[in-house]
């Protein structure tokens, strides 16, 4: 959740809405595992979610908990001066026609805050279908005003987290400057799904890379009580979901409870891809939030600095943007993240992200998110592309198995098994337009927005 909009901002590509086949009222049967669509050079992952009989793509976010969609006449709002903007500026896909017999939750409002924007509206009941499985009368956000943006095809967010982060609010009026307060906690869509015995109490994910210069394509699978149909090791790392340390009371209600998909990383190893003897391991354990709505891994500052210095040429921290900018053709260091005694090696393809709208490149490894006195580390899409992941509410644990072979919707090269050694070849799959950096792209809008996002994380 916290960084969802970082992903969105980085991919604020003006996709031509008309080039995307309309999804409205398709009668295709959905399947489980549900296929996802990757956008923005595979930094956003969307899945089809039906509200009643209206299908939409929603951003799949393990880091937030609300399911919401923009309604037909929603107002796109300029976050800076609160002026009205044309709907297209919000880059959402199809909008939701509120049924005439819509039941709203009485005396509540909906209002969720992400890094760069907010989405506000009403809390309604809808029959929500994902992967062909219908949750009856689920509480959802029906958004009528948004400063948050889509990716050109999605129409909202599917938050797959725990109840304490849900964003309904008591009362009939909403102060949008304090959306973290006064929250009326409810069961999110997936929680309702398993509590209704419609599926086992876990979901899984396998997300895919996209080929060079392809911004949108098949993005992998979301499995509801099912594993995705991709090859993986059978040696699973098991990580208990932990109480996130240091979160403000507004998130936790002042009690020790699980809020985010947080685990402990035991160590990080980095260095030469070809010479395993030239690698360094830092075994200082730290907590990290597993967040499919964040394209980057965000690790302790010292480690982020050291690893980014090992790109060739080095990735350089940009204060304004809050990211390490790197040449698109840089050679990336090996990176292994250890969880439960298993080291998950990252393919070089996942070490550099190319911004889909501007073409500039940045390291997928960043320093922590800092805001309101809270420091948070993340394992984002860069990590998730290398594993099959399971999020288990029954056991309050996450499980990860390394991807093997090349199967999946677009395939991946190399091995990356936990027994592998991280030395896949050094080619980066990003475009050779790596000189954009030198040409003073600092002032471009998306960088400015990234800065705002970093400044307003919580
Ligand atoms: C939003 O408002 C600011 C301040 O008035 C303005 O500079 C900016 O151009 C506006 N953005 C859009 C997309 O209109
Ligand atoms: C959900 O579906 C059931 C059965 O079709 C229907 O009775 C109910 O009204 C629906 N709920 C909503 C909120 O549309
Ligand atoms: C947030 O509240 C301010 C002040 O009431 C209002 O001007 C603004 O439009 C609101 N923003 C959204 C997105 O509704
Ligand atoms: C609506 O909610 C507010 C805040 O919880 C409460 O003070 C008020 O009494 C409620 N009104 C009704 C009609 O339930
Ligand atoms: C290891 O990482 C921690 C942060 O997690 C840092 O404080 C420490 O300095 C690092 N150790 C070395 C030897 O770099
Ligand atoms: C990969 O996919 C192909 C075609 O779908 C299939 O024939 C093959 O068995 C799969 N291999 C693995 C390792 O899953
Ligand atoms: C890939 O991993 C498997 C299983 O660990 C191993 O047997 C195989 O040799 C590896 N292949 C490469 C190319 O590293
Ligand atoms: C990707 O785009 C760049 C810049 O247009 C081009 O130089 C490169 O050859 C393209 N790569 C592929 C695989 O199409």
Which residues are paired to 388 by β-bridges? 401
Asked which of 152, 171, 205 is the last residue of a domain, the reply is 205
Is the minimum distance from the CB of 48 to ligand 2 under 6 angstroms?
no
Rounded Cα distance between 156 and 46, Å, is: 9
Confidence at residue 370, expressed as pLDDT on a 0 to 100 scale: 85
Which residues are paired to 158 by β-bridges? 60, 67
> Which of 232, 229, 227, 264 has the alpha carbon at shortest distance from 245?
264
- Give the chain's length: 458
Q: Are residues 198 and 275 in the same domain?
A: no
Q: Are residues 104 and 248 in the same domain?
A: no
Q: Are residues 52 and 131 in the same domain?
A: yes
Contact assessment for residue 233 and residue 405, using Cβ atoms and an 8 Å cutoff:
no
CATH code at position 303: 2.40.70.10
Q: Are residues 333 and 449 in the same domain?
A: yes
Is the minimum distance from the CB of 179 to ligand 3 under 6 angstroms?
no
| 164 within a domain of the structure (yes/no) | yes
How many CA atoms does the CB half-sphere of 308 hold within 13 Å? 27
Q: Are residues 271 and 188 in the same domain?
A: no
61 is catalytic: yes
Nearest alpha carbon, ligand 5 atom 6: 302
Task: Give percent above pLDDT 70 in the chain.
Answer: 82
> Which of 86, 137, 141, 151 has the alpha carbon at shortest distance from 119?
141
Is the minimum distance from the CB of 427 to ligand 8 under 6 angstroms?
no
144 is catalytic: no
Q: Which atom of ligand 6 is nearest to the CA of 407?
A: 1
Across the range 263-287, mean pLDDT stands at: 95
Q: Are residues 126 and 235 in the same domain?
A: no
Q: Which atom of ligand 2 is nearest to the CA of 99?
A: 14
Helices (H), 3-81: 4-10
Is the minimum distance from the CB of 174 to ligand 4 under 6 angstroms?
no
Structure tokens at 448: 């400015």
Is the minimum distance from the CB of 281 to ligand 5 under 6 angstroms?
no
Q: Are residues 299 and 196 in the same domain?
A: no
Q: Are residues 235 and 200 in the same domain?
A: no
Q: What is the pLDDT of residues 211-242, one digit of tens each?
A: 988 999 999 999 999 999 999 999 999 999 99
| 146 within a domain of the structure (yes/no) | yes
Q: What is the pLDDT of residues 136-192, one digit of tens each?
A: 999 999 999 999 999 999 999 999 999 999 999 999 999 998 888 889 999 999 999
Confidence at residue 189, expressed as pLDDT on a 0 to 100 scale: 98
| 224 within a domain of the structure (yes/no) | no
Rounded Cα distance between 334 and 252, Å, is: 36
302 alpha carbon, closest ligand: 5
| pLDDT bucket at 422, cuts 50 / 70 / 90 | low
Report the residue among 407, 409, 413, 416 best suited for mutation to probe ligand 6: largest number of ligand atoms under 8 A from its CB.
Answer: 407
Confidence at residue 253, expressed as pLDDT on a 0 to 100 scale: 74
| 41 within a domain of the structure (yes/no) | yes
Q: How far is the CA of 125 from the centre of ligand 2 (A)?
A: 9
| 287 within a domain of the structure (yes/no) | yes
Specify whether the backbone of 193 is left (phi greater than 0), alpha (psi in -120 to 50) or beta.
alpha
Helix, strand or coil, per DSSP, at residue 400: strand
Helix, strand or coil, per DSSP, at residue 193: helix
Q: Are residues 239 and 121 in the same domain?
A: no
Across the range 400-428, mean pLDDT stands at: 54
Q: Are residues 251 and 105 in the same domain?
A: no
Contact assessment for residue 1 and residue 61, using Cβ atoms and an 8 Å cutoff:
yes
Is the minimum distance from the CB of 127 to ligand 2 under 6 angstroms?
yes
| 136 within a domain of the structure (yes/no) | yes
| 215 within a domain of the structure (yes/no) | no
Q: How far is CA 433 from the centre of its chain?
A: 26
Asked which of 188, 205, 222 is the last residue of a domain, the reply is 205
Which residues are paired to 35 by β-bridges? 221
428 alpha carbon, closest ligand: 8
Q: Which uninterrupted H or E stretch holds 220?
A: strand 217-224
| 176 within a domain of the structure (yes/no) | yes
**What is the residue range of 354's domain?**
230-455
Rounded Cα distance between 228 and 231, Å, is: 9
Q: Are residues 161 and 124 in the same domain?
A: yes
Q: What is the pLDDT of residues 383-404, one digit of tens each?
A: 999 999 999 999 999 999 999 9
Please report, to the nearest 10 degrees, the dihedral formed by the alpha carbons of residues 315, 353, 419, 391 taken in order: 130
Tally of structural domains, the chain? 2
pTM comes to 0.85
Percentages of the chain per state (helix, strand, coil), in multiples of 5: 15, 35, 50
Specify whether the backbone of 419 is left (phi greater than 0), alpha (psi in -120 to 50) or beta.
alpha
Q: Are residues 267 and 167 in the same domain?
A: no
Asked which of 171, 205, 239 is the last residue of a domain, the reply is 205
Helices (H), 165-320: 189-195, 249-252, 301-308
Nearest alpha carbon, ligand 6 atom 6: 407
């Amino acid at each position: 959740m916290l960084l969802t909009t970082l992903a969105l901002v980085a991919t604020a590509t003006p996709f031509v809405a008309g080039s995307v086949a309309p999804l409205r009222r398709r009668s295709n049967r959905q399947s489980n595992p549900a296929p996802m669509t990757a956008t923005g050079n595979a930094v956003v992952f969307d899945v089809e979610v039906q509200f009643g009989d209206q299908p939409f793509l929603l951003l799949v976010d393990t880091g937030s908990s609300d399911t919401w969609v923009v309604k037909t006449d929603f107002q796109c709002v300029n976050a800076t001066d609160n002026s009205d903007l044309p709907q297209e500026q919000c880059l959402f896909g199809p909008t939701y026609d509120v049924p005439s017999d819509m039941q709203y939750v009485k005396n509540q409002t909906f209002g969720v805050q992400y890094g760069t924007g907010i989405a506000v509206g009403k809390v309604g009941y809808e029959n929500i279908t994902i992967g062909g499985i219908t949750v009856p009368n689920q509480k959802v956000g029906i958004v009528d005003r948004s400063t948050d943006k889509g990716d050109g095809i999605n129409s909202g967010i599917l938050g797959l987290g725990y109840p304490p982060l849900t964003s309904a609010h008591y009362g009939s009026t909403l102060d949008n400057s304090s959306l973290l307060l006064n929250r009326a906690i409810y069961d999110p869509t997936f929680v309702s799904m398993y509590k209704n015995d419609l599926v086992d109490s876990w979901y899984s994910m396998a997300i895919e890379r996209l080929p060079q210069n392809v911004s949108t394509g098949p993005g992998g699978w979301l499995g509801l009580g099912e594993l995705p149909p991709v090859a993986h090791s059978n040696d699973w790392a098991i990580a208990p979901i932990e109480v996130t340390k240091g979160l403000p009371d507004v998130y936790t209600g002042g009690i020790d409870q699980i809020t985010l998909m947080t685990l402990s990383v035991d160590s990080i190893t980095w260095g030469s891809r070809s010479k395993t003897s030239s690698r360094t391991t830092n075994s200082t354990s730290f907590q990290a939030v597993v967040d499919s709505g964040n394209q980057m891994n965000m690790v302790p500052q010292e480690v982020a600095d050291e690893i980014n210095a090992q790109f060739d040429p080095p990735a350089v921290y940009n204060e304004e943007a809050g990211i390490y900018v790197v040449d698109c053709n840089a050679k990336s260091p090996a990176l292994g993240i250890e969880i439960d005694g298993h080291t998950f090696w990252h393919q070089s393809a996942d070490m550099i992200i190319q911004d889909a709208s501007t073409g500039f490149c940045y390291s997928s490894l960043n320093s922590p998110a800092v805001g309101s006195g809270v420091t948070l580390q993340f394992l984002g899409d860069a990590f998730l592309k290398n594993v099959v992941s399971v999020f288990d509410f029954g056991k309050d644990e996450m499980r990860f198995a390394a991807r093997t072979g090349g199967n999946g919707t677009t395939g991946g090269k190399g091995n990356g098994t936990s027994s592998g050694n991280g030395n896949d070849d050094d080619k980066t799959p990003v475009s050779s337009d790596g000189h954009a950096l030198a040409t003073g792209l600092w002032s471009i809008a998306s960088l400015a927005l990234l800065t705002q996002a970093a400044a307003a994380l919580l």
